[in-house]
């Protein structure tokens, strides 16, 4: 079976996108594993399906490289919005995208027919430990010291439909992320594993992060990781609600507004288009 795909990147997350309104596969999880396998030229951080929706403009399904379907990814959401405009599946610049985690709202900045920036409202952060999920006696995990290998990190966790944990340290550039990232991702306190954000305060309006993405490893950026860092930095009195977050892939603008919604603003890039021969 020949499956057309587009590889897109939105400040870090490098996904394979498939128009599932035109393609049907019985086992999407198996396909996700195969197209995400880094031994293939197609290799990616995961697979995104664009599907029809009865309640929104489109529905997005997100698959990790190990085939696990997860609820949401902010960078994937932004790229999906560009995808449907780029391939003329819609001419709307204000879109509502259905995800397992809820209905997400996106606005496209278009100039001369090209999408130059994407504003995504990813909703309110969830702190409840049962919904993150995280094993703790407290109602949420907020700035709690946890011993990881040979050092102690102060951890905070939330969910955007997928779990994220953030730790603020003095210098993210010198951290051995390959040492501590997987140790935190697979720590017993995170039964569903967690995405790991290491964050550093630059000033009141600027943070810097490095991201260890569950099932993938270090990425050049992560939209929901940026948002997680801003939310907890603000709760800790380290920054304002409107912040630029520097990551390897670029600077993502994040705004946690007074209604408790978090907005991320940044571009998305079509890396290349191709076809994948899939055998079930």
Active site residues: 73, 222
Question: How far apart (Å, rounded) are the C-alpha atoms in residues 35 and 46?
Answer: 8
CA geometry: angle 183, 179, 40, nearest 5 deg: 90
Q: Given the structure tokens 């100039």, which residue do they identify?
A: 111
Measure the CA–CA gap between 219 and 45, rounded to whole angstroms: 8
Separation in Å, CA 116 to CA 11, 33, 171, 226: 13, 31, 32, 20
Q: Are 195 and 64 in contact (CB under 8 A)?
A: no
CA dist 139 and 108 (Å) reads 37
Question: Rounded CA gap, 159 and 99, in Å?
Answer: 14
Find out whether 115 and 95 touch, Cβ atoms under 8 Å: no
Which tokens belong to 84?
């449907």
**Cβ atoms of 198 and 221 closer than 8 Å:** no
Tell me the residue ranges of DSSP E strands in 22-159: 46-51, 58-63, 69-70, 94-99, 102-111, 114-121, 144-148, 151-159
């Amino acid at each position: 079976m020949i499956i057309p795909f587009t590889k897109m990147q939105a400040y870090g997350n490098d996904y394979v996108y498939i128009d599932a309104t035109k393609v049907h596969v019985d086992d999407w999880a198996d396909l996700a594993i195969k197209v995400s396998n880094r031994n293939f030229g197609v290799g990616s951080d995961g697979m995104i399906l664009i599907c029809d929706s009865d309640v929104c403009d489109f529905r997005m399904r997100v698959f990790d490289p190990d085939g696990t379907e997860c609820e949401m990814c902010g960078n994937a959401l932004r790229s999906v919005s560009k995808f449907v405009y780029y391939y003329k599946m819609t001419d709307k610049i204000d879109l509502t995208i259905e995800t397992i985690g809820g209905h997400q709202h996106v606005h496209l900045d278009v100039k001369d027919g090209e999408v130059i920036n994407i504003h995504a409202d990813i909703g309110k952060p969830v702190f409840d430990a049962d919904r993150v999920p995280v094993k703790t006696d407290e109602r949420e995990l907020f700035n709690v010291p946890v011993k990881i290998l040979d050092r102690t990190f102060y951890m905070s966790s939330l969910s955007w439909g997928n779990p994220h944990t953030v730790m603020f340290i003095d210098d993210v550039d010198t951290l051995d992320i390959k040492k501590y990232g997987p140790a935190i991702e697979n720590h017993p306190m995170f039964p569903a594993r967690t995405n790991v954000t290491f964050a550093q305060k630059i000033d009141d309006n600027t943070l810097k992060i490095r991201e260890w993405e569950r099932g993938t490893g270090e990425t050049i950026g992560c939209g929901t990781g940026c948002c997680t860092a801003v939310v907890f930095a603000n709760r800790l009195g380290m920054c304002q609600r409107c912040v630029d977050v520097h990551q390897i892939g670029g600077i993502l603008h994040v705004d946690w507004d007074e209604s408790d919604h978090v907005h991320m603003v940044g571009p998305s890039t079509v890396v290349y288009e191709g076809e994948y021969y899939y055998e079930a």
